[in-house]
């Protein structure tokens, strides 16, 4: 099978995107997807995205982690899917599309700002040394003093695989406060099984978590700096319900190619 792909990245979070509107690639197996995402033997990416046809919206985004398994929502992947769809004239500047957690609205402003509306968040819960928040994907958030001192691979894996989060595990985020409007983040992503340069749903979880902990009380837009770049998260809050949540940041084309499987 010949695969035609394009690669996009959002704040260093990189994805292979396949136009699957004619279901050309629907037979790809978990092993084949993992091979394509492998950075040593394949093309290399944090995940793979199908752009599928959808009866009720402009397109459907189907997301697979780099381990080949279909996964929960990927925020940066969603923004890159919008940039891809815009480049292919599937959409204009505004769009609605379906992801695994339902319908999303998004706006393409430029390659340096694509904004994605996230689902409302109704529940944040405190746990030992952190918070649990689901922003389309489940996240553990821990506020730390020095983010560079954290062994993300080791500590992230220990939390991700802990008994508390069996059987599916959880994404793990370490957050350092710069000031009430600005935070640094490092993320261990399940499915990638390692640290990624950015994580969109993790950045959203961190922003909401810092507001919930009153570290950013009164702030409605927060800058979250990942290793791969900056993301902005804006939101409204009403009685612990977070709504009108927007994830904003770059979503840029890297390269295109063909590969034979």
Which residues are catalytically annotated? 74, 199
Cβ-proximal residues to 154 (8 Å cutoff; 6+ apart), any chain? none
Q: Are 67 and 192 in contact (CB under 8 A)?
A: yes
**How far apart are the C-alpha atoms of 208 and 4, rounded to whole Å?**
38
- The bridge status of strand 171-179 relative to strand 94-99 is unpaired
Q: How many CA atoms lie within 13 A of 172 on its CB side?
A: 27
- Alpha-carbon dihedral sign for residues 59, 60, 65, 68: negative
For the chain, what's the residue count? 261
Closest by Cα among 150, 107, 110, 100 to 129: 150
8-state DSSP, 217: T
**How far apart are the C-alpha atoms of 239 and 193, rounded to whole Å?**
35
Beta bridge mates, 107? 94, 115
């Amino acid at each position: 099978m010949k695969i035609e792909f394009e690669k996009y990245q959002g704040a260093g979070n990189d994805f292979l995107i396949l136009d699957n509107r004619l279901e050309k690639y629907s037979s790809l197996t978990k092993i084949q997807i993992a091979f394509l995402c492998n950075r040593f033997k394949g093309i290399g990416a944090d995940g793979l995205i199908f752009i599928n046809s959808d009866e009720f919206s402009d397109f459907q985004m189907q997301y697979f982690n780099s381990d080949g398994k279909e996964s929960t929502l990927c925020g940066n992947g969603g923004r890159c899917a919008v940039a891809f769809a815009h480049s292919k004239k599937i959409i204009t500047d505004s769009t609605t599309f379906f992801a695994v957690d339902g319908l999303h609205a998004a706006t393409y402003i430029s390659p340096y700002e694509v904004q994605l509306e996230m689902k409302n968040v109704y529940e944040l819960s405190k746990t030992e040394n952190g918070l649990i928040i689901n922003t389309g994907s489940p996240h553990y958030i821990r506020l730390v003093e020095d983010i560079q001192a954290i062994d993300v691979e080791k500590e992230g894996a220990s939390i991700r695989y802990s008994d508390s989060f069996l059987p599916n595990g959880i994404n793990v985020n370490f957050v350092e406060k710069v000031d009430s409007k600005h935070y640094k983040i490092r993320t261990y992503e399940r499915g990638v099984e390692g640290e990624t340069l950015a994580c969109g749903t993790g950045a959203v979880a961190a922003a909401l978590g810092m507001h919930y902990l009153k570290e950013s009380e009164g702030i409605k837009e927060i800058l979250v700096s990942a290793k791969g770049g900056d993301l902005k998260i804006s939101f409204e809050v009403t009685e612990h319900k977070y709504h009108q949540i927007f994830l904003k940041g770059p979503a840029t084309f890297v390269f295109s190619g063909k590969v034979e499987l």
